[in-house]
Every structure is written in structure tokens, then in C-alpha cells.
A and B are shown apart, each in its own frame.
Chain A
Amino acid sequence: AQKVTQAQTEISVVEKEDVTLDCVYETRDTTYYLFWYKQPPSGELVFLIRRNSFDEQNEISGRYSWNFQKSTSSFNFTITASQVVDSAVYFCALSEAGDYKLSFGAGTTVTVRA
């Protein structure tokens, strides 16, 4: 069963627009971790954030912000004032307690046009 769903396959925006990436997860564990990774065209995975299931505080890091809502099992990611360098594939991932394995969503390709 799909544990992480990223319904948006591709998003295209013009520079300076905001873009929100959706992530919905599924788990029976009460303790788990959620992640966002960026994969630019060069292929490496860039770690963006990790959030544990007991910390529902939203987080902001520069132009990035994350909204974690356990009630809807969502962990959405917003890029504010997007830039061309933000163009990449973004993956949401889940790690369940005691497992340490990551289950990745299908990824959302973000294209930011100048």
C-alpha cells in the first residue's frame, strides 16, 4: 500500500510565485518521521527537513515553510517567491518507528520559469 502520496506530478510556475507541494501519508504507528528532499537535475538528494510525529509546529526556513497537520495526515511544503534554482523534483518521505527505512512518495517536479 502506498504510504506516501504526492498527488501533484508536475507544477510549473513563473519566478516569484509561491508554490505549495502536497504530501499525504498513511501509517498506523504513533511515532514516525516525515521528510522532504530535493533532487535537482544532477541527481543528488538534498535533505530539506525532518519532522517527528509529536511535533506539529509549522516550520519556516528562509523561503521554505512546512505545514504538518496530523488530523489530515498531511505534511505540505511551500516555496515562497520561487526562483529558477528551485526547479527540481521534490520528494516527501516517511519513516516509521523502529524501522528506519524511508518510503518515498512519487515526487513532484517543480519547474520555475524566469
Chain B
Amino acid sequence: GAVVSQHPSWVICKSGTSVKIECRSLDFQATTMFWYRQFPKQSLMLMATSNEGSKATYEQGVEKDKFLINHASLTLSTLTVTSAHPEDSSFYICSAGVHQSNQPQHFGDGTRLSIL
């Protein structure tokens, strides 16, 4: 089956640091990638939709200047948490798919981000 690789799986850094998370589709070309955030014991909340070659579409309440998304190729999207603070600590998970392909999205294994 299709594989989506997310890296790093776990990161701890100091407050004020910017952190980049990568999401790669390994065996297919993903026209669309999604970024979700999940707080402990809560559901996944969509942050943004990323289409290859165009600007990401952010959900209401998500700061686009805080969470920079780049989808420069059909196999790679990156989420950069800029000037991270403890409240940004969360589980971030990406998914990738081909819009209108009649195929479900494929999820990465997630990144646990801890800001000290």
C-alpha cells in the first residue's frame, strides 16, 4: 500500500526555536497534503490543506505566519512551526492523497513536538 513518511517522529526544542516537519509520499505523487494537530486525548484537527505548487489553505483560527506550509513537489510537503512556544507542543500528523482519485488519504506516523 501507499506509504507516507513523516520526519522527525519526535522533537524536543527550546522555546523560540523554529521546527520543520517533513511529509513525504514515498510511492505515489500526492497532489494534496493535509496537516493535522492533535492535543492529548483529543481528536485530529485539520490545520491546513496543501496543494502542490500553490499556497496552502488554512483552517479558521490557524495562524499562517506561525505555521508555514510548503508543498514544492508532488512528494514533499513541509510544516514549519516558527518561534515555537510551549503551547505549540502537540502531535502533528500529515496525510497525502490524490484529489478526485477515489482513493483515501494516507497518513504519516506523526511528529511529537515538545517545546520547553
**Would you call B105 and A102 a contact (CB within 8 A)?**
yes
**Would you call A47 and B49 a contact (CB within 8 A)?**
no
**Would you call B104 and A50 a contact (CB within 8 A)?**
yes
CB distance from A19 to the nearest CB of B (A): 19
Give the distance in Å from the alpha carbon of A107 to the alpha carbon of B45 in the complex. Answer: 12
Contact residues, A15-29 vs B (CB, 8 A): none
- Answer whether residue B107 sits at the interface, using C-beta atoms and an 8 A cutoff: yes
- Answer whether residue B52 sits at the interface, using C-beta atoms and an 8 A cutoff: no
Give the distance in Å from the alpha carbon of A33 to the alpha carbon of B44 in the complex. Answer: 17
Report how many residues on chain B are interfacial, defined by Cβ distance under 8 Å: 23
Q: For the side of the interface on A, what is the size category?
A: 20 to 34
Q: Which of B18-26, B61-69, B91-99 contacts A (4 or more CB under 8 A)?
A: B91-99
**Would you call B43 and A106 a contact (CB within 8 A)?**
yes
Dominant SS among interface residues on chain A = loop
Residues of A within 8 A of B108 (CB): 44
**Would you call B97 and A106 a contact (CB within 8 A)?**
no
CB distance from B87 to the nearest CB of A (A): 20
CB distance from A52 to the nearest CB of B (A): 9
- Please give me the residue from chain B that is nearest to A33 by CB atom: B104
Residues of B within 8 A of A42 (CB): 109
- Answer whether residue B32 sits at the interface, using C-beta atoms and an 8 A cutoff: yes
CB distance from B99 to the nearest CB of A (A): 5
**Would you call A101 and B49 a contact (CB within 8 A)?**
yes
Residues of B within 8 A of A60 (CB): none
> Given the interface contacts A43-B91, A44-B107, does A102 sit within 8 Å of B46 by beta carbon?
yes
Residues of A within 8 A of B32 (CB): 100
List chain B positions with a Cβ less than 8 A from chain A: 32, 34, 41-46, 49, 91, 93, 95, 97, 99-100, 104-110, 112
